Amino acid sequence: MKIAVVHDYFTQLGGAEKVAEELYRMAPGATLVSTVALRDKLPDHLRDARIETSWMQQMPGMKKYFRLYFLLYPLAVRSLDLSRYDLVLSSSSGYAKGVRAHRDAMHVCYCHTPMRWAWNFGEYSARERMGLAGKTVLPALIGVLREWDKGASRQPDHFIANSHTVAKRIKTAYGRTAEVIHPPVDVGRFRAANEQGDYYLVLSRLVSYKRLDLAVRACTLLRRNLIVIGEGTSYKQLAAEAGPTVRFMGRLPDADVEHFVSRCKALIFPGEEDFGIAPLEVAAAGRPCIAYRAGGALETIVDGVTGLFFDQQTPEALAQCILEFEKRDWNSTVLQQHARTFGREVFQMRMHTFLRRAGCPIPTVGEEANMFDNSPGLRTPLCA
């Protein structure tokens, strides 16, 4: 069986890229395909992988301006030749769902969310700084993109959603049902520390919709130490709002991230996320989370056991939740046990079960990868 794992683009490093990494890891002999792949934005396991890319790989200034090329990605996705593959596993929060597979192949889309900037442009753009021209022209262009996305949603044979929240969005936007399989968490990467530091933690790309301004402003208001790990377009705005107790660390090596995670008081998770892996990574280190009560956090945080929720996205509401958090004790063993229920092995088991049920099982590592009858004239894909 020939398998392609297709991801939207490797231009940033986040939860979606980790899912693409795991799909590639669980499919022996698969080919990794993307519109664009910037080596310094690849997960560790993919740094040495051979990645087939589109003509967009040669576009100038891709590392800095990849968002400005948003109207070209549909063309790039459609240009990818997947005709020789029997199974296509796409990892998509935007474009990869629109790839064209062979008519006898099966296409399973792991959807992180319907295209956020197309389906929720009003809220998305409200927090992005853009000029008058952008505010005038972009809505019409986004309308075109939304129509393309509707059409692209008909390409997959099956949808998998990363959360029940996203499954509902898929139903609303595309009229399609989706199986829910939570993303994999590398729980073995994190260990509990004997000591605890005097700081809260943000571990995220610095982009506006994640509402990291709430964490910065609440910790400034309370004069609590906050360490912010990550990089992104909102850095300057966040730095301007930060008081002396807030430190921006940028992107750090894994060992440093693990050090700060294992010793923090808690992760602060103030946005409405599709799923959000960070609270579970922190739980794997025995540390709790303070989160906004919405989105994927409702599926990954047990209120009062593995973290606390706040109900309004205001600095004052978050500050009050921090004060309540500081009155409580947290059981690191319970937190770690909870995180393990979202581990990589659980993800792989559920994916393999789904594919078997869909009639297109894939070999596990160590199994025979060639699942064809190679007799002349009888080379029929298993999942045709």
- The pLDDT value recorded for residue 131 is 55
307 beta partners? 289, 303
Question: What is the C-alpha to C-alpha distance for residues 296 and 276, in angstroms, rounded to an integer?
Answer: 6
Question: What is the C-alpha to C-alpha distance for residues 202 and 227, in angstroms, rounded to an integer?
Answer: 6
Q: CB–CB of 35/77 below 8 Å? A: yes
Residue 84: which residues within 8 A CB-CB, separation 6 or more? Answer: 2, 102
**DSSP letter (8 states) at residue 334:** H
Question: What is the C-alpha to C-alpha distance for residues 38 and 259, in angstroms, rounded to an integer?
Answer: 27
Stretch 67-86: mean pLDDT, rounded? 93
Tokens read off for 347: 């993800």
Q: CB–CB of 172/118 below 8 Å? A: no
Whether the predicted pLDDT of 103 surpasses 70: yes
Stretch 35-49: mean pLDDT, rounded? 88
Identity of the residue numbered 56: M
Q: What is the dihedral of CA 134, 136, 141, 142, to 10 degrees?
A: 80
Q: Domain 3-184+343-357, CATH 3.30.565 — does that match?
A: no
Stretch 261-272: mean pLDDT, rounded? 96
Instruction: Choose between 139 and 322: higher pLDDT.
Output: 322
Q: CB–CB of 38/59 below 8 Å? A: no
Residue 230: band (very low, low, confident or very high) from pLDDT cuts 50, 70, 90: very high
Mean pLDDT score across all residues of the chain: 89
Burial class (CB in 10 A: 0-12, 13-18, 19+), 259: middle
Residue 347: which residues within 8 A CB-CB, separation 6 or more? Answer: 22, 181, 182, 183, 184
Q: Tell me which H or E stretch contains 91.
A: strand 87-92
Residue 379: band (very low, low, confident or very high) from pLDDT cuts 50, 70, 90: very low
Considering Cα of 366, then 341, then 197, then 271, what sign does the dihedral take? positive
Stretch 131-146: mean pLDDT, rounded? 71
Stretch 96-112: mean pLDDT, rounded? 96
The percent of residues above 90 in pLDDT, for the chain, comes to 70
SS3 content of the chain, % helix, strand, coil (to 5): 40, 15, 40
Question: What is the C-alpha to C-alpha distance for residues 348 and 65, in angstroms, rounded to an integer?
Answer: 34
CATH topology of domain 187-340: Rossmann fold (3.40.50)
Q: CB–CB of 305/334 below 8 Å? A: yes
* pLDDT single digits (tens) 178-223: 999 999 998 888 999 989 999 999 999 999 989 999 999 999 999 9
State the span(s) of the chain assigned CATH 3.40.50.2000. 187-340
Cβ neighbours of 207 (radius 10 Å): 20
Whether the predicted pLDDT of 232 surpasses 70: yes
Question: What is the C-alpha to C-alpha distance for residues 384 and 381, in angstroms, rounded to an integer?
Answer: 5
Q: CB–CB of 299/183 below 8 Å? A: no
Q: In what order do the strands lie in the sheet with 3-7?
A: 51-53, 31-34, 3-7, 87-92, 106-111, 158-161, 179-180
Maximum pairwise Cα distance, the chain: 73
185 beta partners? 343
| Rg of the chain on CA atoms, in Å | 21
- The pLDDT value recorded for residue 378 is 27
Whether the predicted pLDDT of 126 surpasses 60: no
Whether the predicted pLDDT of 139 surpasses 80: no
Least confident of 49-63, 129-143, 148-162: 129-143
Least confident of 137-151, 161-175, 295-309, 331-345: 137-151
- The pLDDT value recorded for residue 137 is 66
- The pLDDT value recorded for residue 41 is 86
Residue 250: which residues within 8 A CB-CB, separation 6 or more? Answer: 229, 230, 231
